[in-house]
Structure 1
Amino acid sequence: MTATAESTSRSPLGTSNRWRKLIWMVPTAVVIVAVVILVAKGLRELPAVQSFLVDFPGETDLPATAPVGFPAWLAWQHFLNSLFLLLIIRSGWRVRTVRRPEAFWTRRNTGIFRTRNAPKKISIDLWLHLSLDALWIANGVVFYVLLFATGQWMRVVPLTWEVFPNAVSALLHYASLNWPTESGWVNYNSLQVLAYFTTIFIAAPLAIITGLRMSGAWPQKARRLNALYPIEIARAIHLPVMFYFVLFIVAHVTLVATTGVLHNLNNMYAVNNGESWLGFGIFAASAVVMVIAWVAARPLLLRPIAALTGTVSR
């Protein structure tokens, strides 16, 4: 690439042009959604499909020992996971797209972290990404422990094969804009169960395992281990997992807003099954925190924090 071409691709105008090329995705998405709705509504008119919806109403019964409602720790976990994921996605995308980082961070080669080789200099965006990953993993360990200790795992783990046809039934309800009867306070529908199970037990571990393989913490000289788990595989998986989280967040927020927003926010944030504005108020406060964190996650404001654990340079 020539200096002129490189300069153009990095300029705000070049970035703007690249975003304009993606505008076609908006009308395409609208057309696809409209077609899906029409097809789903047509399918619901078929006698065989109507019989299927009767046989599989969209959810399976929980064990009698399954807990009802949401404990306070789950509300806090929901907020922390949302905050960390939002910033992890933002910082990860910057790592992939920012070609000239505004600052770099180098770990201090002292104490228990002292090594023979000089520590590698990384961008401050990567430092933020790895720091957030560590916080997210620590929070995730607490989440897993509490999930199994309190029996909440029974609500997000498929316990029978009937969850799959019931998930198809729930999907058909959603796609035809005829929302399935929901009572997340008591029992998620089968599509929700599969989505939460995939997010908690598949996507999250994949993000951690692939991210670890790509990080400096991975033993680079372990030839046998590296041959069994090439970095190319980790790179091929890590980005699609990020896109999965983005799609999950968009779908999750959309359905929360369109299937009884006050009731859902009370379940998730105020840990009650009512229709008051308390849950909305807590959600609004948490949204303000997220916005502040998003704005604060800039190199200029991150430098003093990064300097506490290493050397920041240009």
Structure 2
Amino acid sequence: MSTPTKKPRAAAGKRSRLYWAVPAALAGLVLVVLLAKWLMGLPGVASFVADYPGHSELPDNAPVGFPAWLAWQHFLNAFFLLLIIRTGWQVRTTTRPSGHWTRNNKGFIKTKNPPTKISLELWFHLTLDVLWILNGLLFAVLLFATGQWMRIVPTSWDVFPNALSAALQYASLNWPTENGWVNYNALQLLSYFVTVFIAAPLAFITGLRMSGAWPKKATGLNRAFPIEWARAVHFPVMVYFVAFIAVHVFLVLATGALRNLNHMYGVRDDDGWFGFWVFLASVVVMAAAWFLARPLFLRPIASLMGKVSR
């Protein structure tokens, strides 16, 4: 008789925590803004911001603007990440899979041991991972081949005081002014560097460690990199990506939406509407993919690569 009363109490407890969390977060943000404004009013801090305005100078041979391939890479990365985060959450929370998939061991990939049956959600997650990694490898090659790496890799130690300056400016609501077509501010640069060169590889290596592709009989390797470590890191990395995307989208829209969207989607540096319409089309594509990513449509695709069962 006690079971029915536990769930409502648990739900009420969660709602109560949420009710308190929202105003607490807002109060915390207000305090951060007030503290930042007070700091910016101090002569020493004002002098620091004047000396370090928030961006580092790029090398003389750094490229200006964004090539078309980078716009496509940006869209594909956002597309894959959206679905990867969704399927990752499904894998983590689904108790009754909508189906199962077993790899065809007579196809392109052949192994001595029989393939392991996995859930349809995990199959889709891993498939998206492979596509995301391939896209990332292509991105890395083009990034270093075209010199675009100089825009997201620190080339001077003054990036750190400039990042602190940019953070103070953001927190005080006196946001740093820069032209992203030419150069990112230091805080942007560091966040992109961490995302591309730290978070993404961490997501890959920890995901690989938890997958069936990892060699189970490699005793020394498994002892050096326990699966528990991978599980402990993989989920926080996903949370990081969610937070990064949320902040990134907010700042894109809040700091000159049309120009920023033209940079990323229109490959141009103006305030026209072209980038907005391309962005809107990309959102429609991602929304359609979100809708179609369900068992009814996934089973026929999965069956091309293996056996689908209940």
Which bracket does the TM-score occupy, shorter chain normalised? Answer: over 0.9
Evaluate the alpha carbon distance shift between residue 76 and residue 112 of structure 1 in structure 2; reply closer, same or farther with a 3 A threshold: closer
3-state SS, counterpart of residue 93 of structure 1 = helix
Aligned ranges for residues 209-224 of structure 1 at < 5 Å?
209-224=205-220
Moved over 6 A (4+): 13-19
Judged with a 3 Å threshold, the aligned counterparts in structure 2 of structure 1 residues 22 and 91 are, in CA distance, closer, same or farther, namely farther
- What residue number does 1:242 align with? 238
Match of 2:18 in 1: 23
Corresponding residue number in structure 2 for 1:89? 85
Q: SS of the residue aligned with 1:105?
A: strand
Identity %: 62
C-alpha displacement at 1:17, in angstroms?
6.3
* Corresponding position of 2:252: 256
Q: 1:181 to 1:112 in 2, by over 3 A?
A: closer
Q: Residues 168-187 of structure 1 correspond to what in structure 2 (within 5 A)?
A: 168-187=164-183
Show the 5 A alignment for 1:69-80.
69-80=65-76
Q: Give, in angstroms, the shift of residue 5 of structure 1.
A: 6.2
Aligned residues between the structures: 307
What is the deviation of 1:41? 1.0
**Using the alignment, how far apart are the partners of 2:63 and 2:303 within structure 1?**
45
Pair 1:188 & 2:207 matched: no
TM-score normalised per structure 1: 0.93
Q: CA deviation at 1:112?
A: 4.8
Please, which of 265, 270, 273 is the counterpart of residue 274 of structure 1? Answer: 270
Match of 1:45 in 2: 41
2:160 & 2:72 partners in 1: Cα distance?
30
- For structure 2, the residue ranges without an aligned partner over 5 or more in a row are none
For the residue of structure 1 that corresponds to 2:118, the secondary structure is strand
Question: Residue 286 in 1 paired to residue 290 in 2?
Answer: no
The residue that corresponds to 1:225 in the other structure is 221
**3-state SS of paired residue (1:146):** helix
CA distance in 2, matches of 1:114, 1:233: 29
CA distance in 2, matches of 1:17, 1:83: 35
* Deviation for aligned residue 1:104: 1.0
**Alpha-carbon distance in structure 1 between the residues aligned to 2:98 and 2:152:** 42
Q: Which runs of 5+ in 1 are unaligned?
A: none
Mapped to 1, the partners of 2:29 and 2:276 lie a distance apart of: 29
RMSD, aligned CA: 2.0
The separation in 1 between residues aligned to 2:181 and 2:94, in whole angstroms, is 43
Change (3 A) 1:19 1:180: same
CA-CA distance at 1:114 after TM superposition: 3.6
How much does 1:16 deviate?
Answer: 6.7
Give the CA deviation at 1:22.
5.6
Sort the Cα spacing of 1:251 and 1:275 in 2 relative to 1 into closer, same or farther, 3 A: same
* Aligned-partner Cα distance in 2 for 1:45–1:128: 52
2:138 is matched with 142
Alignment of 1:302 with 2:298, yes or no, is: yes
Matches of 2:205 and 2:170, distance apart in 1: 33
In structure 2, what is the Cα distance between the partners aligned to 1:16 and 1:295? 28
Q: Which amino acid aligns with 2:125?
A: H
1:108 aligns with 2:140: no
CA distance in 2, matches of 1:220, 1:171: 45
Deviations 1:153-204 (A, max 9, x none): 0010011110000000001111111110111100100000100000010000
Equivalents in 1 of 2:189, 2:76: separation in Å?
21
TM-score norm. by structure 2 comes to 0.94
Tell me how far 1:148 sits from its aligned partner: 0.3
CA distance in 1, matches of 2:208, 2:16: 33
